[in-house]
Amino acid sequence: MVLLASEQKLLMMRPYQVYAVQHMVKCIHDDSGNGFVWHTTGSGKTLTSFKASTLLKENDHIHKCVFVVDRKDLDRQAREEFNKFQEGCVEENTNTAALVRRLLSEDYADKVIVTTIQKLGLALDENSKRNKQRKKNDQQTYKEMLAPLRNKRIVFIFDECHRSQFGDNHKAIKEFFPNAQLFGFTGTPIFEANASLQKIEDSQASMRTTVDLFQKQLHAYTITHAIEDGNVLRFHVDYFKPQGERGERLAKAGRGPAKQAVIEAILSKHDAATGGRRFNAILATSSINDAIEYHARFKAMQAEKQASDPDFQPLHIACVFSPPAEGDADVKQIQEDLPQEQEDNKVEPEKKKPALKAILADYNARYGTNHQLQRVRSLLPGRAKAHQRSAIP
C-alpha cells in the first residue's frame, strides 16, 4: 500500500505494480544489472516508480535514487506526483547547480532526486556552456565536482525510457557512473520490429532496442492485459487506405493530394467517430513539415467549406512541435537525444519557427490566450491535434 499524504488516503497497489517493484528490488539486492518495466500507458507507472524509490530510500547500500524524465514539464509533473504521496519528499532542481548540490548532499531528504536527463547531461558535459564558464572562472566543473560519486551505488530510474535513451546523455551517465544500475519504465518499448536506429558491431548492423540499453525485461503489463482487466479504456483504430495505384503512390511520396484526401476523410468521419464531437482527436505525422502542412491545409479547406456552406461547423485545429534549438541548451540536448527530431529540424529549419508562431497566433486568437513560443519548447514534436470544443492545456 501507499499513503497518499496530500489526501490522507491509502492506495492499494495492483498486483502487476507489486510484481514490478519486487523484480526491481530483487535485481538491486542481487546487483544483477539493469532492466526495464513494460507497463502500458495509464496503468500507474508513477505510483510504481514512487514505491520503488521509497524502498530504495530505505536501502543503506544505495547512495542515491535518481528519477529521470526527458522534459521540463514532466520534471514538474513527476515532482508534484511524488509529493502527493509524501509531502516534501522531492525538491525542485531549478538548475544544474541545484541538481549537483543535491547529488553531493548527504542529507537523507536528498536521497531521492527527480531531474531531467538534460540537466544531468549538462552536468556531465565538459563542453557545456555552464562547465566552460566555471573553467573560465577557475572553478571546478560540475563533472569534476561529481567525481566522488563515480564509484557509489546509484540507481537511475528512467521514465518513458523509449524516448530519449539512445543519445549521448544515456551513454555519458553509464560511463561516468560505472557502478550504477539503470531501470526504465515504458508503455511502448523499442523492439527490432519497431526500431529506427541502427548499431554496428564488427560490420554487423542491427537495430537499437530497449533491451540493448537496459539488458532485460523485468515485468510486462501490456495494453491487452489492461483492457482485459478494465484498467484502461478500449479503443478503436480506423485505417485510411488511398484508393487505386495512383493514390498509393501519392501516399508513399507524402504528396499534397494524399494529405488532402486524409483531411477529407477526417472531416467526413470525425463527428461519427467522436460521438458527435464529444472527444478530441490526434493526428500524428511523420515529420514536422508534414504537421505544418496539415495544419495549413485544414485551415484552408475548412475556410472553403464554410464559404460554400454556412451550416458547416469547422473543427478546431492546433499543431504542436518543437522548433530548432537556436542556442537553447536544454532544447538542443533534447533534440540530440532524439535523432529523428534532429534530422527533421535540418529540413527547411528557417520555416519552422515562423510556422509555429503563426499556429500559436491562431490558437491565441481562438481561445483568448497569450501563449508564447518559449512556452512550447518543452513539448515533443510532430503532433497535430484536431478538436472541436475544448482548448488544449
Residue 262 lies in a domain: no
Q: Per the structure, how many domains does the chain have? A: 2
Question: Under a CB-based contact definition with an 8 Å cutoff, are residues 168 and 342 in contact?
Answer: no
Whole-number Å distance between alpha carbons of 96 and 72? 13
Is 268 within the bounds of a domain? no
Claim to verify: residue 281 and residue 339 sit in the same structural domain:
yes
**Contact (Cβ atoms closer than 8 angstroms) between residue 179 and residue 151:** yes
Nearest to 40 by CA among 296, 263, 314, 227: 227
162 and 285 share a domain?
no
Residue 142's pLDDT is 93
Confirm whether 253 is domain-assigned. Answer: no
3-state secondary structure of 37: strand
Assigned domain for 249 exists:
no
> pLDDT below 70 — which residues of the chain?
1-7, 70-79, 81-94, 161-167, 194-207, 238-256, 323-341, 374-393
Residue 316 lies in a domain: yes
Q: Are residues 151 and 88 in the same domain?
A: yes
Can you give the residue range of the structural domain that contains 132?
2-229
pLDDT of residue 194: 67
Looking at 199, 229, 259, which one is the last position of a domain? 229
Based on the domain organization, do 96 and 203 belong to the same domain? yes
Cell 468521419: give the residue. 269
- Tens of pLDDT, residues 31-57: 999 999 999 988 888 788 888 888 888
pTM above 0.75, yes or no: no
Q: Which of 31, 28, 76, 70 is nearest to 52 (CA)?
A: 28
- In 3-state terms, what secondary structure has residue 192? helix
- Closest C-alpha among 173, 182, 152, 6 to residue 89: 6
Tell me: do 87 and 146 sit in the same domain. Answer: yes
- pLDDT value at position 191? 83
Q: What's residue 177's pLDDT? A: 95
| Same domain flag for 314 and 183 | no
Which residue has cell 494524399?
258
* pLDDT value at residue 245: 65
Same domain, 216 and 288: no
Residue 244 domain-assigned?
A: no
Tell me, yes or no, whether 131 and 222 share the same domain. Answer: yes
Residue 6 lies in a domain: yes
Domain boundary among 229, 262, 287: 229
* pLDDT value, residue 84: 65
Same-domain status, 66 and 158: yes
Domain membership of residue 58 (yes or no) is yes
Q: Report how far residue 106's alpha carbon sits from residue 120's, in angstroms, rounded to the nearest whole number.
A: 18
290-314 confidence digits (pLDDT tens): 999 999 999 999 999 999 999 999 9
Check whether residue 323 and residue 225 sit in a common domain.
no
Give pLDDT, residue 18.
94
What is the CATH number for 25?
Answer: 3.40.50.300
Domain final residue, candidates 162, 194, 229: 229
Same domain, 134 and 203: yes
Q: Are residues 167 and 24 in the same domain?
A: yes
